[in-house]
Amino acid sequence: MPSDTSGFFISDGKCKRCGKPFYEVSVATAIAALMIGYLMITFFFNLLYISEEPWVKDIFGDYIPLGLEYIALSVILLIVMAPVMGAGIIPALKKRHSSAYGYACAECQKVLAQEAQDAAIKQKQSEEANAYAYMSRVEGLENGDPWLGKLIRSWKQDNPNKLPEESMINDLVMAKNMEKAGNFEKAAVIMEKYRFWEEAGRMRRLDDQKVIKHITVDMNELIDQVGTKGLAIPYKCSSCGASITIDKDSKKEGLKFCSYCGTAYNIDDMTKMIQSALE
């Protein structure tokens, strides 16, 4: 395993593709490790030596220099060598193998470059295919859906030679679905976002109609429920103070305007009042 010989100094002392170690980086790292190891041993046993351990000279006298000055010397060399090797020489050797694709041997750099080129071509082809598919989708909507077609054509008139963004097309399809679902307000907001003012207005009018219809239906149901429960609910005109009674005989038409002063009743309030009486 190359990483065993390179030690903690380098994690990228080998080719990222084939895993082959960079020879001179491994050698430099091994030399650095040996030298630093040797200096540390020199330092350590000299400490023992000056604290008068007699066996040190017997065992290590032939291998390391002994004497007070070697303590200082080994420390100085360590301080100088560690950065020179660790931050200078070894990184410089590694750098010769660095490429746009990471640390790799010369052969693998060629392969990686080719792979990157192929990927770029593939990417471009798929982008072109996507763009074409998108263009077809827009065309399909433009020709296949009268409402969307009208909006897209009017947008194209304001933005000649351009294609609407995909987010806009998605929004328009959403607006169409919201209209179908009766959520006219949401559809109107989308129409405003793309400055289709008239369509926004049409959606809002649909929304108003929906509210009126909604309340009318509710009021009939509420009168039915009032009748079923046998309730008689007093309601006071907020304008003139005249009272009417809402019971099984009430007609929804009669609950729209005060018959004394002609003011339109607040249907919302009236609905809420009846609902709370029914609870």
Q: Choose which of 65, 242, 254, 278 interacts with Zn ion (CB under 5 A).
A: 242
Q: Does residue 276 contact residue 233 with C-beta atoms inside 8 Å?
A: no
The reply to whether 18 sits near Zn ion by the rule CB under 5 A is yes
DSSP track, 211-243 = HHHHHHHHHHHHHHHHHHHT--EEEE-TTT--E
Q: Residue 174 Cβ, how far from Zn ion at the closest point, in Å?
A: 45
Residue type, 136: S
Q: Residue 262 Cβ, how far from Zn ion at the closest point, in Å?
A: 7
Q: Choose which of 90, 93, 258, 274 interacts with Zn ion (CB under 5 A).
A: 258
Helix-, strand-, coil-residue percentages of the chain, each rounded to 5:
70, 5, 25
Q: Residue 26 Cβ, how far from Zn ion at the closest point, in Å?
A: 14
| Segment interacting with Zn ion, rule: CB under 5 A, options 30-38, 93-101, 152-160, 250-258 | 250-258
Q: Choose which of 120, 135, 240, 278 interacts with Zn ion (CB under 5 A).
A: 240
Q: Residue 164 Cβ, how far from Zn ion at the closest point, in Å?
A: 48
The reply to whether 85 sits near Zn ion by the rule CB under 5 A is no
Q: How far is CA 41 from CA 28, 47, 131, 150, in A?
A: 20, 10, 68, 86
The reply to whether 106 sits near Zn ion by the rule CB under 5 A is no
Q: Choose which of 105, 148, 226, 246 interacts with Zn ion (CB under 5 A).
A: 105
- Exposed e or buried b for every residue in 191-225, given b needs 16+ CB within 10 A? beebebeebbebbbeebeeeeeeebeeebeebbee
Q: Choose which of 108, 138, 178, 270 interacts with Zn ion (CB under 5 A).
A: 108
The reply to whether 16 sits near Zn ion by the rule CB under 5 A is no
Q: Residue 2 Cβ, how far from Zn ion at the closest point, in Å?
A: 11
| Cβ neighbours for 260, distance < 8 A, ≥ 6 positions apart | 237, 240, 242
| Segment interacting with Zn ion, rule: CB under 5 A, options 18-26, 74-82, 184-192, 271-279 | 18-26
Q: Residue 265 Cβ, how far from Zn ion at the closest point, in Å?
A: 9
In this structure, what DSSP letter does residue 162 have? -
d(CA 151, CA 100): 47
Which residues contact Zn ion by CB under 5 A? 15, 17-18, 105, 108, 237, 239-240, 242, 258, 260-261
